[in-house]
Amino acid sequence: MNLARHISWTAIAQVIRQVTQLIVGMILARLLTPEQFGLIGLTVIFTGFAALFADLGLGAGLVQRQDVTERDLDFVFWSNLLFGVIVTIIVILSAPLVAGFYHEPRLLKITHLLALSPLLSTFGLVPGSLMQKASRFKELALIDVVAVTVSGAIGCMCAFRGWGVMSLIVQTLSSQGLSSILRLAVARWHPRFHLNWHEGRRLIPFGSGLLGSNLVNYWLRNGDNLLVGKFCGAVQLGFYARAYSLMMLPLNQVHAILSPVVFPALSTLQNSKSEFRRTFLFANQAIAVIAFPLMLGMSVAADDLVRVLWGNRWLAAYPIIRVLALNAVAGSVGTTTGWIYMSTGRTDRMMAWMLGASPLLLLSFMIGVRWGGLGVAIAYTIATLILWYPQWRYAGSLIDLSFSSAMANLAKPFACSMFMAGSIILARLALDRATVSPLLRLAIQMAEGFLFYLGALQVSHVPAFLRMKSRALSAWGGMWKVLLDPSAS
C-alpha cells in the first residue's frame, strides 16, 4: 500500500474542505446570529447521537476484517438501512421531548427535519467502506470536496435569502445526501436483497464494541454542549459551540487525512507488533507536526482570529477558543489510541476505556458549567490532562508501546511548537505598539510563526517532518516535470 500517495489525495481534499468550510463559516457567521447557531447546536446533540445507531459500527468492521464476503456487505447495508429508518422515526417522535427539555418550541420543526440526517448517511456507509478498503482515496477525496462545496454554496444561498436557521439545516442534509449518492454511484457496488443473520453475526463483536465506544464518546464530546445549552441558554451555547467547532476544524481535517489511510494499513499489520508500532508512531508524530503548532498558534492569536473570521460580535468566544485549543494539543494525538483498539480488533477494550474515563470527564462538565462556557473549557482541559497517562498506558499495552516511548516520539514536535508560540507572543507585544488592522496583525503572526516553526523543525531533525518534506518536494518536482514536458507523465 502506497501510504504517501494515498495520504496526498486525502490531504488535498481536506485542505480544500477546510478552506471551503472556513469561507462558508465566515459568510454564515455574518448572515446569522449566535442564537441561530445555538438552536442547531441544541438539536444536533440528539440527532447526532441517534445517527450512531444507524451505523452500528459495522462499516469500520468491513475495513478491519481481511476476509469480507458479498453476503457480509449485504448484511451491513440492509442492517444499517433498517436501523436508519428506525432511528429517524424515533427522533421524529422524540422531537416534543427535545423541545420540552430546553423549553424552546422552535426546536420541534428543527428536530423533525434533522431526523432525516441518520437515514441519509446510511446509504453511503458500505460503498465508502469498500472504497476505503480498496484504497480508492482519490475518488473518496473528490466526493468529499464536491459534497462540502455544493452544500456550502446551498447553505449560503439560503442564508442570503433570509432563511435563517433553516439554511444550516439545508446545508447539513444536502451534504450528507449528496455524499451518499456519489459514493453509491462511484463505488460500482449495489446491494442484493439478502439479509442473513447467521452469516453476518461474525461482524457483531467488533461492531458492538465500536458502537458502545462511540456512544460513550459521543456524550463525552457533547455533554458539555448539553449542559451549557441547558443551564446557560442558546446564546451562550452559540459562543461555546462555535469556539469548539473552530478548535476541532483543523484537528478533524488532520485526522480525516490520515485515519482513512492509516486504519486499513494498521489492520494489515495487526499480527506484527513491531511493524505496527513503527507505523503507528510515524503517523502519530506526523499528526503532532501539523496539529501542535495549529493549536498553540490558535490559542495565542485567538482574539485576532475571531475578529477576522466572525466579527466583533463573536468576541465572547475567544477566551473559550484559547483554552480549548490548549486541550486540543493533547487531544490531537491522544485520540489516535483509537487506531490501536480498532486495528487490533479490540473494540471491547476501547469501550472499557471509554466507560472508565467518562465519570471524570462528565464531572468536569458539571463543575465547570457553573462558570459558563469558559468554566467548562477549563475543567475539561484539566480532566484531559489527568487522564493522559492512563490513556496511553492502557492502549499501548496492546502493542507493547511504553508511555515513555510514546512521549519521546512527540517531544520534538512539542518543543518546536512551543518555540513558535513564544515567537508569536513576542510579535504580538511588538504589534500592540502599532495601529494595524486585525487582519494584518493575524497575517503577520501567522507568517512569523510559520517561518520560526519550519526553522525549528529543520534544526531538530524531526523524522516525520523530514519525510513529509521529502515527499512534498518530490511531488512538486514531478508536477513541474509534467507541466514542462507532458510526455514525461
Same domain, 321 and 426: yes
Same domain, 185 and 255: no
Same domain, 165 and 253: no
Give the mean model confidence (pLDDT) for residues 227-241. 79
Same domain, 363 and 275: yes
Same domain, 375 and 439: yes
Question: Is residue 386 situated within a structural domain?
Answer: yes
Question: Is residue 217 situated within a structural domain?
Answer: no
Q: What pLDDT shows up at residue 90?
A: 86
Q: How far apart are CA 117 and CA 120, in angstroms?
A: 5
Question: Is residue 201 situated within a structural domain?
Answer: no
- Min mean pLDDT across 186-200, 285-299, 374-388, 443-457 is at 186-200
Q: What pLDDT shows up at residue 6?
A: 60
Q: Which residue has the higher pLDDT, 473 or 462?
A: 462
Per the structure, how many domains does the chain have? 2
Same domain, 179 and 314: no
Q: Which residue has the higher pLDDT, 488 or 102?
A: 102
Question: Is residue 43 situated within a structural domain?
Answer: yes
Q: How confident is the model at residue 339 (pLDDT cuts 50, 70, 90)?
A: confident
pLDDT over 60 at 104, yes or no? yes
Q: How many CA atoms lie within 13 A of 473 on its CB side?
A: 6
Give the mean model confidence (pLDDT) for residues 376-402. 92
Q: What pLDDT shows up at residue 59?
A: 63
Q: How confident is the model at residue 471 (pLDDT cuts 50, 70, 90)?
A: low
Nearest to 141 by CA among 287, 286, 17: 17
Q: How confident is the model at residue 412 (pLDDT cuts 50, 70, 90)?
A: very high
Question: Is residue 418 situated within a structural domain?
Answer: yes
471, 6 in Cβ contact below 8 A? no
Instruction: Give the torsion sign (CA, 477, 470, 4, 410).
Output: negative
Best-predicted range by mean pLDDT among 41-50, 57-66, 249-258? 41-50
Which residue's entry shows cell 496583525?
A: 441
Angle subtended by helix axes 3-31 and 137-160, to nearest 10: 0
- What proportion of the chain, given as a percentage, has pLDDT over 90? 15
Same domain, 143 and 268: no
Q: How far apart are CA 409 and CA 396, in angstroms?
A: 13
Q: Residue 272: how many CB atoms within 10 A of its CB?
A: 12
Last residue of a domain, one of 161, 178, 195: 195
Last residue of a domain, one of 177, 195, 213: 195
Exposed / middle / buried, residue 131 (Cβ in 10 Å: 0-12, 13-18, 19+):
buried
Q: Which residue has the higher pLDDT, 276 or 474?
A: 276
- What proportion of the chain, given as a percentage, has pLDDT over 70? 85
Q: What pLDDT shows up at residue 489?
A: 41
Q: How confident is the model at residue 102 (pLDDT cuts 50, 70, 90)?
A: confident
Question: Is residue 98 situated within a structural domain?
Answer: yes
pTM: predicted TM-score of the whole model, two decimal places: 0.68
Q: What pLDDT shows up at residue 404?
A: 94
Q: What pLDDT shows up at residue 70?
A: 73
Q: What pLDDT shows up at residue 317?
A: 85
Which residue's entry shows cell 444499517?
A: 80
Q: How far apart are CA 242 and CA 377, in angstroms?
A: 13
Same domain, 285 and 184: no
SS (HEC) of 137-178: HHHHHHHHHHHHHHHHHHHHHHHHCCCCHHHHHHHHHHHHHH
pLDDT over 60 at 485, yes or no? no
Which residue's entry shows cell 475539561?
A: 380
Q: Which three cell numbers stand for residue 366?
A: 458539571
pLDDT over 70 at 125, yes or no? yes
- Chain segment 74-88, per-residue pLDDT in tens: 777 887 788 888 888
449, 297 in Cβ contact below 8 A? yes
Which residue's entry shows cell 493549536?
A: 295
Last residue of a domain, one of 195, 228, 253: 195
- Min mean pLDDT across 10-14, 128-132, 182-186, 474-478 is at 474-478
Same domain, 173 and 71: yes
Same domain, 186 and 257: no
| Mean of per-residue pLDDT scores for the chain | 81
Give the mean model confidence (pLDDT) for residues 294-314. 86
Distances (CA, A) of 322 to 70, 84, 247, 350, 422: 49, 38, 9, 30, 15
Q: What pLDDT shows up at residue 42?
A: 74
pLDDT over 50 at 482, yes or no? no
Task: Identify the domain containing residue 31 by its residue range.
Answer: 1-195
- Chain segment 48-65, per-residue pLDDT in tens: 777 777 676 666 666 666
Question: Is residue 230 situated within a structural domain?
Answer: no
Q: How confident is the model at residue 387 (pLDDT cuts 50, 70, 90)?
A: very high
Same domain, 44 and 121: yes
- Chain segment 182-217, per-residue pLDDT in tens: 888 888 787 777 666 665 666 666 666 667 777 777
pLDDT over 90 at 343, yes or no? no
Question: Is residue 211 situated within a structural domain?
Answer: no
Helices (H), 312-399: 318-334, 337-343, 347-368, 372-386, 388-396
Same domain, 264 and 126: no
